[in-house]
Structure 1
Amino acid sequence: MELTCYLYPGWKPRIRAASSRRGWMDATPEAFAYRCLPLAIANSHGWEILSPCSFEAVWNGGMAPGDVIVRAHPGSLPHERPVGLFGQGVLTFHIAGILRTSPGWNLWVGGPVNSAKDGISPLSGVVETDWSSFTFTMNWRFTRPHHPVRFEENEPFCHIFPVERAAIEMTEPRFASIEDEAGLKEQFESWSRSRDAFHRKMAQEPPAAPADKWQKFYYRGIHADGAAGIADHQTKLRAREFKSESGKSCPMSSRNGGR
């Protein structure tokens, strides 16, 4: 699958491989939030688009586009600043690039994953990027009026990743008895017993080492009996950086830290 960002003269989008790090996860005791592997994988599942300028925005509660006021850093360029374009308390970021995917693939477009922002919420969309000759916008909707919201320069405001267009409608969801899958009931009950025993032991004999405070079955990709789940289990995910026409990686890749 190919993902290309076509640049019109003067466009300089800041796009980087999404980071698995989050400031709030770093701040949890012993950084325990990273023990949730699905959380960390989701954080890095795609690419982030970063704000080219710092700014503060506030919504006065009205429904007109002008009811969103943006105060950008004095050194920012007009086309870099977000605007109140659609009304309804929506803040709009323009993305300086035409993103194209391989045939049959869309882009999921939304806010930074697992990274809440007080007073405003990202809106998500799915864009047919295998044919579109248009740019698209990333939009956030204020959740309450008169509450200033701030974005810093190089703070992610958008997260993208490819999704195969036919996959959802080709999926056939169903319910089934746990007995229908050979061995599944036994595996689940084994894990459940192990989990209960582990919690009892933790309550009676709290371990000193942080690594001993969780079982790590899912993290290690194994069942409770030690059997491997799948051969290609992932504990880390790193998307490739966008490259320039010269073949060099985008300079924003060096900024792929936590927040």
Structure 2
Amino acid sequence: MPVGSRNETVAGSMPKLVAYTIDGHAIDIRPAPLERDWMDATDQRFAYRCLPLNIANAHGWELLCPSGFSARWDGLNHKETVRVKADLGTHAPAASHFGHGILTFHVPCLFRTDPGFDLFVTGPINRPKDAIAPLSGVIETDWSPYTFTMNWRFTRSNTKIRFERGEPYCHVFPVERGALERITPEVMPLSKAPALEREFKLWSEGRSTFNADLQQPGSEAAQQRWQKTYFRGVNPSGEEARADHRSRLRLKDFDEKD
């Protein structure tokens, strides 16, 4: 789709996300992986049993640092109070631009989405980092000719933080503009949805029994180790919940075009 195009997406065509790199720059971007170091380190990798966590991990694309650097904030508000030190022989991909303990990455490209789609820009999902936290934004990338920055805010002063070469510093995914505003939120008693209530009670009772049986060596629950009904996309009654249930995302790599 050409930059600046306002034409409707052709019916039946595949939606696109294009990263137009600024001349003289390069971008290292990849589908966000499922794996996380801290999840690998959990006992028997139990963190991967949480399907919502797995799906969120891979829900978009990650931008990677072209070089490593360290930074420190002294707790004051002007720009000079964030000090960035590039690794030897490299140029740091982040700088102090706004002050107030904010570290800024300049993203070297213009993203373009299909008409009616914005780009949600945030930090790497489920990758906590000590002493600094990512800030999020939503950008109208179906028309905007403006670059954006990825910003992190220090949460503790006088603490050195570090980004390694190849470490994700930004996570992006398209969202349909106005979709949230079309939703009508409601609150009502669970008893008003008898089929849902029935499945919930089956799950709740089964969960209590399963957790009790886990303490019994050799029990079926101890052999299973965890309940997999949500992971498999079935209700507690055994009925398939949704034909389009996902247990893994498989996003495409960015193709390089001349």
2:115 maps to what in 1?
103
Please list the CA deviations of residues 144-165 of structure 1 after superposition, one character each: whole Å capped at 9, or x if unmatched: 1110000000100000011111
* Alignment of 1:189 onto 2:204: no
Q: Which of the numbers 186, 189, 198 marks the counterpart of 2:210?
A: 198
Alignment match of 1:148 (pick from 133, 147, 160): 160
1:169 aligns with 2:181: yes
TM superposition score normalised by structure 1: 0.91
Q: Per-residue deviation at 1:177? A: 2.3
- Pair 1:178-2:190 in alignment: yes
For each residue in 1:98-144, what CA deviation from the matched residue of structure 2 results, as whole angstroms up to 9, or x when unmatched?
A: 00101111111111001100000000111111110011000000011
Root-mean-square deviation (Å): 1.6
Deviations 1:39-65 (A, max 9, x none): 010000000000111000000111011
Hey, what's the Cα distance between the residues in 2 that align with 1:143 and 1:49?
Answer: 22
Q: What is the count of residue pairs matched by the alignment? A: 244
DSSP 3-state at the match of 1:224: coil
SS at match of 2:251: coil
Stretch deviating more after TM superposition (177-186 or 18-27): 177-186
Shift of the 132–45 alpha-carbon distance from structure 1 to 2, 3 Å rule, reads same
AA in 1 matched with 2:167: E
Which one scores higher on RCO, CA 8 angstroms, separation ≥ 6?
1
Q: Is the 8 A contact 1:207 1:213 kept in 2?
A: no
CA distance in 1, matches of 2:153, 2:83: 13
Q: Percent identity?
A: 46
What is residue 252 of structure 1 aligned with on the other side? Answer: none
State the Cα distance separating 1:8 from its structure 2 match: 2.1
SS at match of 2:214: helix
Q: What is the rounded CA distance, in whole Å, between the counterparts of 2:43 and 2:33 in structure 1? A: 20
Provide the residue aligned with 2:8 in structure 1.
none
Give distance in 2, aligned partners of 1:177 and 1:200: 29
1:32 correspondence with 2:46:
yes
Task: Indicate conservation of the 8 Å contact 1:97/1:135, yes or no.
Answer: yes
Match status 1:67 vs 2:86: no
- CA distance in structure 2 between the partners assigned to 1:38 and 1:221 by the alignment: 12
**CA gap 1:204/1:148 in 2 versus in 1, 3 angstroms:** same
Report the Cα distance in structure 2 between the residues aligned to 1:188 and 1:239, rounded to whole angstroms: 32
Secondary structure of the residue aligned to 2:145 is coil
Determine if contact 2:213/2:221 at 8 Å carries over to the other structure: no
Distance change (3 Å), C-alpha of 1:242 and 1:20: same
CA shift for structure 1 position 10: 1.1
